Amino acid sequence: MSSGLFKLSFRHGIHPDEHKDQTAHRPFERMPFADRLILPLRQHTGAPCEPVVGVGAEVRRGQVLATPGGFVSTTLHSPVTGRVTALAARRHPNGQMVPSMEIDTDAYSSQRLPPASSIDWRALTLDGFIEEVQRAGLVGLGGAAFPTHVKYKLPDGRRCERLVVNGCECEPYLTSDHRTMVERPEAVVRGAEIVATMLGAKETVIGVELNKLDAIETLRRVVGEGPTRVIGLNVKYPQGAEKMLIKSIFDLEVPAGKLPIDVGIVVNNVASMAAVADYFDRGQPLIERGVTVAGPGVDRPSNLIVPVGTSVRDVLRHCGLNHETRQVIMGGPMMGMPLASLDVPILKGTSGILAFTDEVVDHTAEYACLKCGRCLEACSNLLNPARLARLARAGRWNELEMNYVMDCMECGACTYACPSGVPVVHLIRAAKTSIRKRKAKGE
Amino acid sequence: MTQPEPHLLLRAAPFLRRGLTTPGLMTEVILALVPVILAAVYFFGVSALLVLTATTLGAVATEWLLSPVRPRGVALRDGSAILTGLILGLCLPPGLALWMAFLGGVVAIGLGKLAFGGLGQNLFNPALVGRAFLQAAFPTALTTWVPEGTITEVLSVRSGTFAAPFMQSSVDAVSTATPLGVMKFENVATPVADLLLGNSAGSLGETCGVVIIVCGVFMAWRRLFDWRIPVAILASVAAFSAVVWVFDPQASPSPAFMLGSGGLLFGAVYMATDPVTSPIAPRGVWIFGIGVGALVVLIRLWGGLPEGVMYAILLMNAATPLIDRISQPRGFGRGRAAA
């Protein structure tokens, strides 16, 4: 209630059914090591990594397999002790064949991480810290998989005043961030403390939606009287979008085309914070992550700690895949990726695997757009999706840009809200791709 | 352990939908019309039903006949033709010849909607296009009003209903004037209570204000239309007519009379709110509503016709693309609010 009084929210947005009860109370279990892992060299936004071990190499769990191919790139570690069996094109969840490393797990290994000492981060400079984070292979665990260290490289003249830790998890079905906050609040707060100290942020705010009261309570207990605040936010999609979260917490609009750092804010996901703590305290790089496996097509909905590279087929076999499954989604149901094959790996950015049966699969027929305005009321980016969709159909690129089509973050709220079943966000997505291509070719 | 190999459906995100559908919304609007239809039957007898049937048949038949040939029924599935037919019928006089009503339905869909490219493409409210056509083609019939009746006369068919096409029917029987006509030509105001309760002459659906208001509140609550449109129209009619009334209370009608009389309530609730032909963004909607209100007052007080709701809405329909252009949402992080 209190947050209602202070209007901690952003304009527009939608309220889809949450469907989180299936897994919200299920503690993380460890997924057994699979026999074979596939590790695409590009699991993050940016340049692919460059392999430093060859086919046939024996690798230990946590050993570096590939180093960053640029600044906007990160390190890849082996999630298991085993042997590199191939360095070749393998199927990526997005459908493309991409250069990947294949590792066969050593069935006789204890799979214990080699002991590593904690890193004295307080002795590091900011640049040294950034290097370490890149060495840890960290990417944003919320779904976009943007290399974490890039966010810490402050542009000239910018300072980080505030660190926002994103615990919204506004996508329906997903509960892995929720479980991380409940089960590992110390790690979340510790990671936030490390990052805030290194960036020189004066204030740290952990934003959690009010449908996760236990997480808020646990975090508040850990934070205590410290400088970090835990704030409950009214539940609304897409609150987990950086700019919406900033608007909700600080009532501040990040200007279009700018980044949060331009208003002195860095936003990180809660699981990413826990991963930072794991690396600096225990020396564990990003080799596994929390994944919610849910949906009516799954017999035993679970939250799993899955080694990166485990195939979706293995994960679904572990949780029991139902015969009625018609659709498998990687990520959340609003912005996730549809899978054409189960033989694709869990990536660093995979927050969930959802199996949908016919009763949930969307069968909406398409009717003509009535200009009813429901998409407008759904669009938290304050655009006119109906107009953009119409212009996109007609291929009127200039007008699309004049109507700020490039501001669209493709959250899908417009399509969700449309009674006519118009694939609004799909049209916008296609138009943005076309515009980018034309730009790259022409001007 | 065997694992099922699902035949996976490949579709892009989002994978969830709110579950509202266009036919569902149309059905709700049609349901919200039922009380108005019942009131029409109560006051104007079975003639009301006959007129409504004729317009709806005309609309649906035209939609079926002129829609793309492949699966013919598809265009009908959204239910919009039925809705157009009913709304057209409700804004016609009770004693209208059925063939005229049928023709009105044909023109509403054929010229008002399909000629523009079908649902969602039309510039003008189809029902009003049908009515404007009838008003131009049969001015006498469209301004011949039978008096309202009571429940005892439900089964009596009003004169003129079964007139043969293009024959000069002798409309000699009882005819009367609408409150707006009386006001315009005799400067006598009908009591507002009569206007709200339906004790006055007029088109089928427009006479009983109370029923329309109740249905309007229901539709606003169900969010079937943008509540701003009727609110803006009624507020601007009240405001503009109040200004005139304050200066000349003798010769001009009171704001209450303006609000309750003629097709204003029906038009504001059921016709101006057509999403296709009204602006999409809130700011545009306010401009649209205020424009309709201003035009209604202008036509009623200084125009040659006693009623102006139809032309006011049609004119603002024509202005809608322009209004849409200047009332776009600003974009997050743009304009004044940008940090």
Query: Domain residue spans in chain B?
Result: 23-171, 177-327
A27: tokens are: 């503690």
At B322, the amino acid letter reads L
Residue B69's pLDDT band, with cuts at 50, 70 and 90, is low
Residue B40 exposed, middle or buried by CB count within 10 Å (0-12, 13-18, 19+)? buried
- Which region among A361-375, B185-199, B307-321 has the lowest average model confidence (pLDDT)? B185-199
What are residue A166's phi and psi, to 5 degrees? -90, 105
Between B163 and A441, name the one with better pLDDT. Answer: A441
- Which region among A29-33, B17-21, B69-73 has the lowest average model confidence (pLDDT)? B69-73
| Cβ within 8 Å, pair A256-B18 | no
Beta strand pairing status for A28-30 and A302-307? parallel
- Total of domains in chain A: 2
Peptide bond between residue B4 and the one before it cis (omega within 30 degrees of 0): no
Mark which of A332, A363, A394 sits at the end of a domain.
A363
pTM of the model: 0.90
- For tokens 């790996």, the residue is A345
Range of the structural domain that residue A11 is part of = 1-30+118-363
Considering chain B, what percentage of its residues have pLDDT values greater than 90? 52
Same domain flag for A328 and A424:
no
Q: Are B92 and B104 in contact (CB under 8 A)?
A: yes
User: B14, B113, B140, B19: which is closest to B59 by C-alpha?
Assistant: B113
B chain contacts of residue A325, beta-carbon cutoff 8 Å: 4, 6, 8
Q: Between B15, B275, B330, which is nearest A372 by CB?
A: B275
- Say what the pLDDT of residue A359 is: 83
Q: Between B11, B120, B334, which is nearest A368 by CB?
A: B120
Same domain flag for A284 and A239:
yes
Same domain flag for A137 and A204:
yes
Considering chain B, what percentage of its residues have pLDDT values greater than 70? 88
Mark which of A309, A342, A363 sits at the end of a domain.
A363
Apex A206 CA angle, A201 and A210, nearest 5? 160
Averaged pLDDT for residues B250-279: 91
Rounded CA-CA distance A198/A187 in Å is 16
Residue B153 exposed, middle or buried by CB count within 10 Å (0-12, 13-18, 19+)? middle
- For residue A351, being part of any structural domain is answered with yes
B117 part of contact set with chain A, CB < 8 Å:
no
Rounded CA-CA distance B98/B158 in Å is 11
What is the least distance, in Å, from the CA of A284 to any CA of chain B?
Answer: 33
What is the least distance, in Å, from the CA of B282 to any CA of chain A?
Answer: 9
B chain contacts of residue A417, beta-carbon cutoff 8 Å: 18, 20
A with B: how many residue pairs have Cβ under 8 Å apart?
Answer: 187
Rounded CA-CA distance A62/A81 in Å is 8
| Cβ within 8 Å, pair A419-B20 | yes
Q: Are A286 and A347 in contact (CB under 8 A)?
A: no
Q: Are A159 and A152 in contact (CB under 8 A)?
A: no
Q: Between A17, A337, A383, which is nearest B329 by CB?
A: A383
Apex A377 CA angle, A375 and A378, nearest 5? 60
Q: Has residue B172 got a pLDDT over 80?
A: no
Average pLDDT, rounded, for chain B: 86
Apex B60 CA angle, B54 and B64, nearest 5? 140
A34: three-class secondary structure by DSSP: coil
From first CA to last CA, the distance across chain A in angstroms is 52
Write the pLDDT tens digit of every residue in B113-130.
999 988 889 999 999 999
Q: Are A290 and A317 in contact (CB under 8 A)?
A: no
Beta bridge partners of residue A164, listed in sequence order? A205, A267
- Say what the pLDDT of residue B162 is: 66
Q: Has residue B327 got a pLDDT over 60?
A: yes
Name the percent of chain A in helix, strand, coil, to the closest 5: 30, 20, 45
| Cβ within 8 Å, pair A403-B275 | no
| Cβ within 8 Å, pair A367-B338 | no
Rounded CA-CA distance B121/A346 in Å is 45
| Cβ within 8 Å, pair A403-B328 | yes
Mark which of A328, A363, A398 sits at the end of a domain.
A363
- Say what the pLDDT of residue B141 is: 85
CB atoms within 10 A of CB A213: 11
In tens digits, chain A (443 residues) has pLDDT values of 344 445 678 999 999 999 999 999 999 999 999 999 999 999 999 999 999 999 999 999 999 999 999 999 999 999 999 999 999 999 999 999 999 999 999 999 999 888 887 888 999 999 999 999 999 999 999 878 899 999 999 998 899 999 999 999 999 999 999 999 999 999 999 999 999 999 999 999 999 999 999 999 999 999 988 789 999 999 999 999 999 999 999 999 999 999 999 999 999 999 999 999 999 999 999 999 999 999 999 999 999 999 999 999 999 999 999 888 999 999 999 999 999 999 999 999 999 999 999 888 877 788 889 999 999 999 999 999 999 999 999 999 999 999 999 999 999 999 999 999 999 999 999 999 999 999 998 76
Beta strand pairing status for A228-233 and A203-209? parallel
Same domain flag for A300 and A213:
yes
A383 part of contact set with chain B, CB < 8 Å:
yes
Residue A122 exposed, middle or buried by CB count within 10 Å (0-12, 13-18, 19+)? exposed
Distance of CA A95 to the CA centre of its chain: 19
User: B29, B19, B17: which is closest to B220 by C-alpha?
Assistant: B29
Same domain flag for A303 and A223:
yes
Same domain flag for A395 and A275:
no
What is the least distance, in Å, from the CA of A417 to any CA of chain B?
Answer: 6
Between B144 and B339, name the one with better pLDDT. Answer: B144
B chain contacts of residue A256, beta-carbon cutoff 8 Å: 331-334, 338
Same domain flag for A271 and A302:
yes
- Say what the pLDDT of residue B160 is: 63
- For tokens 């087929």, the residue is A313
Rounded CA-CA distance B142/B125 in Å is 19
A296: tokens are: 């009516």
Render A35-81 in DSSP notation, one character per residue.
SEEEEES--SSSSPPEE-S-TT-EE-TT-EEEE-SSSS---EE-SSS
CATH number of the CATH domain containing A2:
3.40.50.11540
B241: tokens are: 């007519």
B23 part of contact set with chain A, CB < 8 Å:
yes
Helix (H) or strand (E) holding B135: helix B126-137
Q: Are B13 and A413 in contact (CB under 8 A)?
A: no
CB environment B82-98: b (16+ within 10 A), e (fewer): bbbbbbbbbbbbbbbbb
Q: Has residue B106 got a pLDDT over 60?
A: yes
- For residue A59, being part of any structural domain is answered with no
A306: three-class secondary structure by DSSP: strand
A chain contacts of residue B276, beta-carbon cutoff 8 Å: 370-371
B226 part of contact set with chain A, CB < 8 Å:
yes
- Say what the pLDDT of residue B1 is: 46
What are residue A431's phi and psi, to 5 degrees? -65, -40
Write the pLDDT tens digit of every residue in A400-421.
999 999 999 999 999 999 999 9
Rounded CA-CA distance B74/B79 in Å is 10
B chain contacts of residue A383, beta-carbon cutoff 8 Å: 329, 331-332
User: B78, B91, B89: which is closest to B53 by C-alpha?
Assistant: B89
